[in-house]
Amino acid sequence: MTSSRQRPGDPLAAAPIHAVAPATSRSTATPHDLYGELFVDVQMQRVFGDGKSFVDARPKAPPALIRARFEAERRLPGFSLPGFVHAHFALPGHAAASGPRLGIREHIQALWPLLVREHRDAQEGDSLLPLPRPYVVPGGRFRELYYWDSYFTMLGLAADGRRELAEDMLANFAELIHRHGFIPNSSRSYMLSRSQPPFFFKMVELLHEGDPATGFAAHLQALRAEHAFWMDGEAGLAPGQAHRRVLRLADGALANRYWDDRCTPREESWREDVGTAEKAGGRPREQVWRDLRAGAESGWDFSGRWCADPADIASIETTAIAPVDLNALLAGLEDAIALGAARSGDAATAGAFEARAALRRQLLQTRFWLAQDGNGSGHFTDLHRTDAQARRPLTAAALVPLYLGIATQAQADAMAAQVQARLLGANGLLSTTLNTGQQWDAPNGWAPLQWMAAQGLVRYGHAALARDIAERWCASVHRVYLATGRLLEKYDVAQDRPGGGGEYETQDGFGWTNGVFVAFKDGLLKAPAP
């Protein structure tokens, strides 16, 4: 559909959109489903500087009534779209993350309660999904429960003596799997068409640290449901074919990719995605939107690692790529299911998932390993679906196989050399070797990547390098905090300053930064230096 109130001379406002989205129930209808032309007008005319503001707003009347009023009033003389929106919607605020200036550890402890939310009852037209337990939001514009963010937040909650809140978050994720068959990107209706990196099994492991198999057994049904979500369509898939999140490679091996079940612009970034598709030349815009959405499912939204031309976001091709980190995490999930099934006495399931995990480990150690890259030792890499010889960039995702114990010792040693030579910045680990202006590329570093890299390097005997990464990153986080009073979602690992790039201003709060900082300080950086 297209807006009837386009701004003259604005090519983006004139772009019609007819992509068909999946049918939804009233309880999971997205803002675009509910408001149609009103939604498109608000986003395309940039009533709000941040497109997430409108999709997070709560209606003051039933959505059908608001939509009918809009249709009746929109062509009347003097109609004001901003005035209509402010009259009919309660706009969201930012998640509070401020307070008196304290020492950094005291500041983090004071932030936890400021970032806690409860939302138990559904409201018609509200995109926020109800959940049975309290949870921690990341902060800033991120006012809801996010999937992979939460694992790294939970590390800090557990270290700071807030285990009960971490258990509440695990219960919420189990409930989301029960309701939807998977964990959505966040607890918003407009993110129910995609997930995020599968860290549920790591959350279970964290809260059953002394006996993870017992935890996996207790959550076996949820773990298997999540695995089934990622593997949907594998049966009958011929070599070279793909379905949703599954790829069968030319040699018959199974791998996974990121995907989204919708092929419209992201509702929270509608105008930006329309603009990206306009710049994509002859590519079908639905494919561009699908790839942008798949990039959001990856959590790395966005990075040159997803693009045919790393400098051009319009060349994004996420669905053509089998990411090394996703496939490593799924091997970890398969191992967890095998352990949980064995503890439950289900030998058949345990054996089946042990075999799955072994096949995926072998695939990672062979097909996902680039033996020589022109810079000395090899490294783990993403695979391109149609071009097996395509050279993918070195990224911090290449450390995830170490984090999950999937690499050989020789591969881990080679990765340590690559980190030292190409990914280690003055203030921690670079996301990639690319400098594209996207937020998941150089010079930015992110808390989860520091954590997985350091834990993986320790696992393979490179404790000194791991400690160096943690020390550099924590010291920079502390220096930026002293200068600004803020804890941020991302940092520049070349200079002491907030990270930049991407579609929105750098946010503060910030759940996973707080969690990883605390976990480093109470773990790796508390232990005697090697």
Task: State pLDDT tens for residues 13-61.
Answer: 333 443 333 334 456 899 999 999 999 999 999 999 999 999 999 999 9
Position 1 scores a pLDDT of: 33
Inter-residue contact 417 to 356 (CB < 8 Å): no
Q: Which of 149, 291, 489, 492 is catalytic?
A: 489
Position 336 scores a pLDDT of: 98
DSSP-assigned beta bridge partners for residue 494: none
CA dihedral of 363, 364, 365, 371, whole degrees rounded to 10: 110
DSSP-assigned beta bridge partners for residue 58: 90
Q: In sequence order, what are the residues at sequence separation of 6 or more whose Cβ sits closer than 8 angstroms to the Cβ of residue 194?
A: 184, 185, 258, 259, 260, 261, 293, 294, 296, 297
In a domain, 498, yes or no: yes
In a domain, 276, yes or no: no
Please give the helix or strand (H or E) that residue 180 lies within, else none. Answer: helix 163-180
In a domain, 451, yes or no: yes
Cα–Cα distance list, 298 to 34, 185, 256, 295 (Å): 27, 9, 12, 5
DSSP-assigned beta bridge partners for residue 425: 428
Q: What percent of the chain has pLDDT over 70?
A: 93
Phi, psi of 23 (to 5 degrees): -65, 145
Domain carrying residue 58? 31-88
What confidence tens digit (pLDDT) does each residue in 172-186 have?
A: 999 999 999 999 999
Position 373 scores a pLDDT of: 63
Radius of gyration (Cα) for the chain, nearest Å?
23
**Mean pLDDT, rounded, of the chain:** 92
Using pLDDT thresholds of 50, 70 and 90, give the confidence band for residue 447: very high
| Tokens encoding 200 | 């549920």
Sign of CA dihedral 329, 505, 438, 519: negative
| Tokens encoding 125 | 């037209």
Using pLDDT thresholds of 50, 70 and 90, give the confidence band for residue 233: very high
Write down the pTM of the prediction.
Answer: 0.94
| pLDDT over threshold 60, residue 164 | yes
Using pLDDT thresholds of 50, 70 and 90, give the confidence band for residue 265: very high
Beta strands 424-425 and 428-429, pairing class: antiparallel
DSSP 426-473: TTEE-SBS--SS-TTSTTEEEHHHHHHHHHHHHHTT-HHHHHHHHHHH
Interval 115-129 mean pLDDT: 94
Identify the DSSP state of 505. Answer: P
Identify the DSSP state of 421. Answer: I
Phi, psi of 504 (to 5 degrees): -150, 165
Q: Which of 41, 226, 301, 334 is catalytic?
A: 301
In a domain, 47, yes or no: yes
In a domain, 239, yes or no: no
Q: In sequence order, what are the residues at sequence separation of 6 or more whose Cβ sits closer than 8 angstroms to the Cβ of residue 119?
A: 128, 129, 130, 131, 187
Q: In sequence order, what are the residues at sequence separation of 6 or more whose Cβ sits closer than 8 angstroms to the Cβ of residue 273?
A: 265, 266, 288, 289, 292
Inter-residue contact 374 to 367 (CB < 8 Å): no
| pLDDT over threshold 50, residue 10 | no
Using pLDDT thresholds of 50, 70 and 90, give the confidence band for residue 95: low
In a domain, 111, yes or no: no
Position 23 scores a pLDDT of: 39
The total number of structural domains in the chain stands at 2
292-328 CB burial, b ≥16 within 10 A, e <16: bbbbbbbbbbbbbbbbeebeebbbbbbbbbbbbbbbb
Sign of CA dihedral 32, 48, 197, 345: negative
Last residue of a domain, one of 45, 63, 88: 88
What confidence tens digit (pLDDT) does each residue in 142-161 have?
A: 999 999 999 999 999 999 99
Residue 417: is it exposed, middle or buried by C-beta count within 10 angstroms (0-12/13-18/19+)? middle
Inter-residue contact 85 to 42 (CB < 8 Å): yes
d(C-alpha 82, C-alpha 234), whole Å: 47
d(C-alpha 356, C-alpha 52), whole Å: 39
What confidence tens digit (pLDDT) does each residue in 205-228 have?
A: 999 999 999 999 999 999 999 999
d(C-alpha 336, C-alpha 350), whole Å: 9
d(C-alpha 26, C-alpha 454), whole Å: 44
Last residue of a domain, one of 47, 70, 88: 88
Is 489 tagged catalytic? yes
In a domain, 421, yes or no: yes
Q: In sequence order, what are the residues at sequence separation of 6 or more whose Cβ sits closer than 8 angstroms to the Cβ of residue 510?
A: 97, 138, 139, 140, 487, 488, 489
Is 121 tagged catalytic? no
Position 528 scores a pLDDT of: 84
Last residue of a domain, one of 88, 103, 119: 88
DSSP-assigned beta bridge partners for residue 508: 488
Position 2 scores a pLDDT of: 33
| Residue 312: alpha-carbon gap to chain centroid | 21
Position 477 scores a pLDDT of: 97
Q: Which of 377, 395, 382 has its CA nearest to residue 449? A: 395
Using pLDDT thresholds of 50, 70 and 90, give the confidence band for residue 97: low
| pLDDT over threshold 70, residue 301 | yes
In a domain, 26, yes or no: no
Position 7 scores a pLDDT of: 35
